Structure 1
């Protein structure tokens, strides 16, 4: 999914530093190494992390979702986290990240 100013794509190892910085804005300080380790662990059919990247700038948002099957509900996706850089909030990027998960 893309917009004229940004593109939404799966997170890659190179994004770890930006993901860590955004996690701090979300209230969860972490390191790029810790994020990288978690991304490797999440490389399964049950987890997905997407980023919003502004062209010629960098990653300004991310969303993590995972499949969840509970006894009382059908299989569904749960959002593990969603953050957009404070400078880009109210821009529609968060909505586009959510739409990407819905697809």
Structure 2
């Protein structure tokens, strides 16, 4: 009898609209109010979009994390940039390197499309933990996020 240790298999792939029920708990952990139908509509919009992307992390076939990306051209940069619009790893899987793997895949996606930089805004209750995670991952804090409602 063998004493083999089986490590969990981590896979990163493009998200699809069929992932909606696996994504709902992650969106709730981000405190994003959404319904299955609204989330399915948004995930369907992302499929095949050139400037928008959502990746998911699966451990042994179960979705445990996601990152949403947007590539855009700014007036002050020669090359486009990639923005992280959301990143979440399931609470039970945080601290295991899944967030870092999602970031590495996001960087690859941005580079493949010619982006020169990656940006992220950190706000909300978890901003200290999130800010530390991004700084540890090579991001530099260059300012503050300010917002104003338009409605």
TM-score for both structures, normalised by structure 2: 0.62
Q: 2:87 aligns to what?
A: 82
Aligned position for 2:52: 47
Structure of larger gyration radius:
2
Over the aligned positions, Cα root-mean-square deviation in angstroms equals 1.5
Stretches of structure 1 lacking an aligned partner (at least 5 in a row): none
Matched, 1:38 2:42: yes
Matches within 5 A, 1:1-80: 4-43=8-47, 44-56=49-61, 58-73=62-77, 74-80=79-85
> Structure 1 or 2: larger strand share?
1
Detail structure 1 runs of 4+ shifted over 2 Å in the superposition: none
TM-score (normalised: structure 1): 0.89
Higher RCO (CA-CA < 8 Å; seq separation 6+) = 1
Q: Is the 8 A contact 1:11 1:49 kept in 2?
A: yes
Unaligned runs of 5+ in 2: 1-6, 109-151
